[in-house]
Amino acid sequence: MDSKILIIGSSGQIGTELVLKLREIYGNENVVASDIRKGNYEVMESGPFEFLDITNKNDIKEVLEKHQIKEVYLMVAILSVIAEENPQMAWELNMNSLFNILDLAKNGTIEKVFWPSSIAVFGPDTPKNNTPQDTIIKPSTVYGISKLAGENWCAYYSRKYGVDVRSIRYPGLISYKTTPGGGTTDYAVEIFYEAIKRKSYTCFLDEDTVLPMMYMDDAINATIGVMQAPRMSSYISYNLGAFSFSPKELANAIQKQIPEFTINYKPDSRQEIAKTWPRSVDDSKARNDWGWEAKTDLDQMVITMLQGLHYTI
Ligand code: SER
């Protein structure tokens, strides 16, 4: 491989697994991990790692030059809950990180960029079921506002400067290798830790709050899939679906494996965020354009999570 790949935010929930998969595909030495903090053992040991502050453009440039990077996955963001608590910090980090990378791509330093969007771009006026790709998009959260602005900036840089940038609107992501932090959908990960440790969980969302979710392996395949797809005539941030469930439905699926598991509900301010997001999304555009298809269903995901965490915690 004559050009290398950089993952920024490689210690995060998605970044960790993305690095490992990309190293499997392209070779360990061709995939550079970077973050402001150390990552998990596998990431740190299996290939190159750079400490990198995404807000420092000169440092980014140095890493790009040092490793002859041509492709960047920008997996850095402050998620929905933390963003509500620190709107300005979230806006600055979420937007400046993107600007830094888009500008470097505009100058030709980087040839291809992945930037993650989210179901959070949708808001209370959006149709909730089978939410279309193009619809009313008026987010009501700080995080959603930053993601929608990001989508618009990606479209702008693509149109005006020819930057090749690819995006997915991730649903809630469920994984066990690295914990998520500060998201509204995080209950669907926390619940597994508590199911194993205490056999009970107090959920911060109402029992019937249905949200679109996905197991991490599918999210990683989608991320790499959209980057490997032929370039579309214009930028698009793809809706992506796998399965949807409520906390109650997830608890029922866990009870199939751990019959004594119990759940109770104590909704807090995160409920206000969750109720503005879709229940399910229409991802036919991703299916048609680059053959997207989810492989893991709810029951399989539950079994994999319980097995994976059994050895971790
Ligand atoms: N998982 C994210 C959150 O809950 C949504 O993209 O903030």
Instruction: Answer with the one of 204, 239, 274 that is the final residue of a domain.
Output: 239
Mutate to test the pocket of ligand 1, among 121, 143, 223 (most ligand atoms within 8 A of CB): 143
Nearest CA to ligand 1 atom 2: 183
62 and 193 part of one domain: no
Query: Which of ligand 1's atoms lies nearest the C-alpha of 184?
Result: 4
Q: Enter the pTM of the model.
A: 0.97
76 and 32 part of one domain: yes
CB 192, CB 251: distance < 8 Å: no
129 and 192 part of one domain: no
The angle subtended at Cα 6 by Cα 305 and Cα 225, nearest 5°, is 55
218 and 256 part of one domain: no
- At 282 the three-state DSSP class reads coil
161 and 247 part of one domain: no
Domain assignment of residue 56, given as a range: 4-172+214-239
67 and 114 part of one domain: yes
Q: At 213, which helix (H) or strand (E)? A: strand 211-215
Q: Is the CB of 240 under 6 A from ligand 1?
A: no
89 and 229 part of one domain: yes
CATH number at residue 224: 3.40.50.720
List the one residue out of 264, 273, 172 whose CA is nearest residue 218. Answer: 172
Mutate to test the pocket of ligand 1, among 85, 140, 179, 185 (most ligand atoms within 8 A of CB): 185
CB 312, CB 176: distance < 8 Å: yes
pLDDT at residue number 2 = 64
**DSSP 3-state percent helix, strand, coil across the chain (nearest 5):** 45, 15, 35
In the residue annotation, 41 being an active-site residue is answered as: no
Nearest CA to ligand 1 atom 6: 118
> Distance between CA 261 and CA 280 in Å, rounded?
27
- At 67 the three-state DSSP class reads helix
Query: How many Å lie between the centroid of ligand 1 and the Cα of residue 37?
Result: 21
Instruction: Answer with the one of 188, 222, 239 that is the final residue of a domain.
Output: 239
Query: How many Å lie between the centroid of ligand 1 and the Cα of residue 168?
Result: 13
According to DSSP, the residues that pair with 74 across neighbouring strands are: 8
**Residue 9 CA: distances (Å) to CA of 35, 78, 115, 187:** 5, 11, 12, 22
List the one residue out of 173, 183, 178 whose CA is nearest residue 220. Answer: 173
End-to-end CA distance of the chain: 38
Query: Which of ligand 1's atoms lies nearest the C-alpha of 180?
Result: 1
How many folded domains does the chain comprise? 2
19 and 29 part of one domain: yes
Active-site annotation holder among 26, 41, 143, 311? 143
In terms of Cβ atoms closer than 10 Å to its own Cβ (0-12, 13-18, 19+), residue 2 is: exposed
119 and 222 part of one domain: yes
- Within 8 A by CB and 6+ apart from 134, the residues are none
CATH number at residue 197: 3.90.25.10
Instruction: Answer with the one of 198, 223, 239 that is the final residue of a domain.
Output: 239
pLDDT in tens, the chain (313 residues): 667 999 999 999 999 999 999 999 999 999 999 999 999 999 999 999 999 999 999 999 999 999 999 999 999 999 999 999 999 999 999 999 999 999 999 999 899 999 999 999 999 999 999 999 999 999 999 999 999 999 999 999 999 999 999 999 999 999 999 988 899 999 999 999 999 999 999 999 999 999 999 999 999 999 999 999 999 999 999 999 999 999 999 999 999 999 999 999 999 999 999 999 999 999 999 999 999 999 999 999 999 999 999 877 7
Rounded to 10 degrees, the C-alpha dihedral 262/203/309/302 comes to: 70
Query: How many Å lie between the centroid of ligand 1 and the Cα of residue 185?
Result: 6
151 and 10 part of one domain: yes
pLDDT at residue number 3 = 76
Q: At 245, which helix (H) or strand (E)? A: strand 243-245
DSSP state at residue 260: T
**Residue 284 CA: distances (Å) to CA of 40, 123, 146, 154:** 35, 20, 25, 21
Query: How many Å lie between the centroid of ligand 1 and the Cα of residue 182?
Result: 8
187 and 119 part of one domain: no
104 and 149 part of one domain: yes
